[in-house]
Amino acid sequence: MDTETLTNAVQATAPDSEPLPGIVIAYGADRPQCVPLRIESGALELGRDELAAAVLPDGRASRRHVRVEHEPGRWTVRDLGSRNGTFVNAVRVEAASTYAEPPVIRIGRTVLLAVEDVRPFESPGLTVEDGVVLGPRVRALHERVALIARSGANLLLTGPSGAGKELAARAFHRAGEGGAERPFVALNCATIARDMAERVLFGARRGAYTGAVADATGLLVAADGGTLFLDEIAELDLVVQAKLLRVLETREVLPLGALRPVPSRFQLCAATLREPRAEVLAGRFREDLYFRVGRPEIGLPPLRERREEVAYLIEGALRSMPEGTSHASSPELVEACLLRPWPGNVRELLAEVKAAALTASAAGRSTIAATDLDPRAGCALTAPAQAEAAPIEEGAEAPQPAAPRANVPSPPREVIAAALAEAGGNVLQTATRLGLSRARLRRLLERHAIDPRAVRDRKHGA
């Protein structure tokens, strides 16, 4: 199947009608959910009865709790006089608030995601297969991956670190001719020394170099009849890239020290977190190899663009904790995780949830609160805070925190509030923890209506 035919086949399955806004229940009845609700005629009211109809009873939700209104580029959330309040992006709304981006809403013990198009979340919606969480967008990409694999083509996966490129590579392998019983050989090219890459990939004959006391089979031969997954392929030395290109064209591998090539037929799935065309222009990725392996190309979205998976990933992280430990998530924890950008994607989320579970255990609790998350977890990396021998009093002279990079986004409100509480209301300490300047933090405190004096008063029992 050529690229044009493949593209047409994929586009034929894509919806061509206007998006249908809606709400996705992401957490309810104390467990992850993916329940889509359409917003008809521009508004949707939710309360205890609607949740009960969805088999998600919530005794903390009022009978008429919240009204969500949508028009292009505008979301309005109205609390309908609920008993326990409505929280939007972790901030309680007293009457109505308007947002340009789809918000995260918490009512009672239920967490809701506003989405611009709810249809992808309808049947089959989100699925969990062998512990692998596949939201609608990722599942659609995996379906394209399978289509490419069945065509016999190679595949290039792009996307940020931790976004699930190896999972997509394994889906590619399972869908190929012969199924998952064939060999699957994986190599992260960034983890091997450049002078070792050639012998690891191509193998070597006895005596080919000092210390070669026996024949060694290379990964290109080991993958014969199956799939070779080369993660971070652009990290390969240019000489090795040229030799790899020849293998792909001739289906023959010449081990180091050998006189005759060894036949090997495999499907190649390559991956890189870099922009491949930029690497070609920079001279780090051979143009001829890129055109051989770079099409078709599928980009995996970061976690912040597939937030419906977050609650399920949290549950999976807690289930993988050591035996004998028991941890439960909470709606506030799910809400906090939904509001963070997670630059390290799934890998970072799993690690930080496990760390939060240990923090809760140390406090004698089995339920994990939002405050158990490190204030920096899931946020853009900043300069580390300076060690302090003693608490810094407000107004005292002290080293200023390192200036943040201009492209670092502001932390969410709940991250700032948690850091301020840990610092006992001290603005300078909080700024240092978050890698912000004090002036920038004060602007954020004012924007989010957070009063450091109130935090200090609570600390001192005032």
Q: How many CB atoms lie within 10 A of CB 222?
A: 16
| Tokens matching residue 300 | 């995996």
Instruction: Answer whether residue 407 shows pLDDT above 60.
Output: no
N-to-C CA span, the chain: 72
Partners of 367 in the β-ladder: 328
CA distance 105 to 96: 13
Rg (CA), the chain: 26
Instruction: Answer whether residue 386 shows pLDDT above 50.
Output: no
Instruction: Answer whether residue 213 shows pLDDT above 80.
Output: no
**Average pLDDT of span 258-284:** 90
Instruction: Answer whether residue 209 shows pLDDT above 70.
Output: no
* 171-189: pLDDT as tens digits: 999 998 877 789 999 999 9
Return the higher-pLDDT residue of 226 and 94: 226
Check residue 176 and give its pLDDT.
87
* 9-44: pLDDT as tens digits: 444 344 557 899 999 999 999 999 999 999 999 999
Q: How many CB atoms lie within 10 A of CB 411?
A: 26
Among 114, 88, 84, smallest CA distance to 102 is for 114
**Average pLDDT of span 118-123:** 92
Q: How many CB atoms lie within 10 A of CB 364?
A: 6
**Average pLDDT of span 161-170:** 93
Query: What stretches of 265-322 show up as alpha helix (H) in DSSP?
Result: 276-281, 287-293, 310-319
100, 94 contact by CB (below 8 A): no
48, 109 contact by CB (below 8 A): no
58, 48 contact by CB (below 8 A): yes
